[in-house]
Amino acid sequence: MTIPRFLPRWLLALLLGCAATLAAADYPDKPVKLIVSLPPGSGADTTARFLARHLSEKFGQPFLVDNRPGADSFIAARAVAASPPDGYTLFVASNSPMVTNVAVFRQLPYDAVKDFQPLARIARFPMVLVVPANSPFKTLQDLVAAARQAPGKLNFGSGTATYRVALELLHERNQIKATAVPYRGTSAAMTDLAGGNIDYTMAEVSAVMPLVRGGRVRALAVAAGERIKELPEVPTVSESGTAGYESYAWTGVFFPANVPPPVLARMSQAIKELMEGDDAKAFIAAQGGTVFYGAPQPFAEFQRAEIERARRVVRSANIGYED
């Protein structure tokens, strides 16, 4: 579009707005990349592939999943933040890079708020408190009583910073102390738990179910508002004496900051329609979660509130910032 020089500002703004709207009408007209900070098979990865398949069908363009795991999600988040804000790069992320990292790390190579445009909150997955199969603890109340009797004696594993914060919040609510054992990933923490090397841990439902079904770990409580179909006999944390406690892993989609509003609106509407459909509800339910859709502005507000909550827990538990 050629724009003559010396146009009045109001007319120039109008013309540029029209140009952006016309460009958005053809968007996307080339492949779109969905960057994921976790490896294939993870919750964020399977969600990204579900989105990619359905958005490809809707728009007639390839939506390609690009896994960039490692470095506490720094690699993927930094790649998205540095991408052109043209709508052709999406970040399918969990709360770890977009919330917990902000609270836990002293310095980040990206700004989780300023460098991104929230596009759509997608789903959430309840966390489950688990112990080794041969643990003496049969209920959450048993574990809490033991921790109160010998502060710091019990140890707990945390596969990610998000799970560490969730557990520290549980400790705070019950006024107990335990010794943290950090792991480089949820799989490592679950393996050590099954081997009896730690006393308990917490992870989202899809990560714990294979070991629960295999009889290698026991679920004590579900950190959801109500019992879940995967573990109908397991009480919620609230039912187990910690009223109102809930912790979830969630996934959402982000653009780099400063994406043109018409592009944001077009993709936002497409994802909204998808997440309100039966296919999305069935897919998320099969992963042990529920659709938790949120439009751009409510999602941005939710992210900020989650960051403040995580910061408060980090300060209260004196977790300490990592470099």
Residue range 37-61, pLDDT digits in tens: 988 877 889 999 999 999 999 999 9
pTM: 0.84
What is the mean pLDDT of the segment spanning 158-178? 92
H-helix or E-strand spanning residue 251: strand 248-256
Average of per-residue pLDDT across 16-45: 78
Q: Where in the chain is the domain with CATH 3.40.190.10?
A: 126-222
247 half-sphere exposure, CB direction, 13 A CA radius: 28
All residues at 6 or more sequence positions from 284 whose CB lies less than 8 Å from its CB, including other chains = 47, 122, 123, 290, 291
Higher-confidence position of 132 and 23? 132
Residues in Cβ contact with 229 at an 8 Å cutoff, skipping those fewer than 6 apart: none
| Neighbour count for residue 209 (Cβ, 10 Å) | 18
| Token pair recorded at residue 137 | 């603890």
> Are 192 and 198 spatial neighbours (Cβ–Cβ below 8 Å)?
yes
φ/ψ of 214, rounded to 5, equals -80, 0
Average pLDDT over residues 258-276: 97
At residue 86, what are phi and psi to the nearest 5 degrees? -110, 0
Across 51-78, average pLDDT: 95
What pLDDT sits at residue 60? 97
The model's confidence at residue 185, banded by pLDDT at 50, 70 and 90, is: confident
Q: What is the mean pLDDT of residues 275-285?
A: 96
SS3 of 242, please?
coil
Q: Identity (one letter) of the amino acid at 188?
A: A
pLDDT band at residue 106, thresholds of 50, 70 and 90? confident
For the chain, residues classed under CATH 3.40.190.150 are: 11-124+249-317
pLDDT for 66 beyond 80: yes
Three-state secondary structure call for residue 201:
strand
Stretch (H or E) spanning 249: strand 248-256
**Please, is 180 exposed, middle or buried when counting C-beta atoms within 10 Å of its C-beta (0-12, 13-18, 19+)?**
middle
Model confidence at 17: pLDDT above 60: no
Whole-number percent of the chain with pLDDT over 90 = 78
Phi, psi of 143 (to 5 degrees): -65, -45
What pLDDT does residue 22 have?
A: 46
**Predicted pLDDT of residue 316:** 84
pLDDT band per the 50, 70, 90 thresholds, residue 71? confident
Q: What is the CATH number of domain 126-222?
A: 3.40.190.10
Identify the CA nearest to 96 among candidates 43, 139, 53, 146: 43
CATH code of domain 11-124+249-317: 3.40.190.150
* pLDDT, position 4: 57
* 99/112 Cα distance (integer angstroms): 7
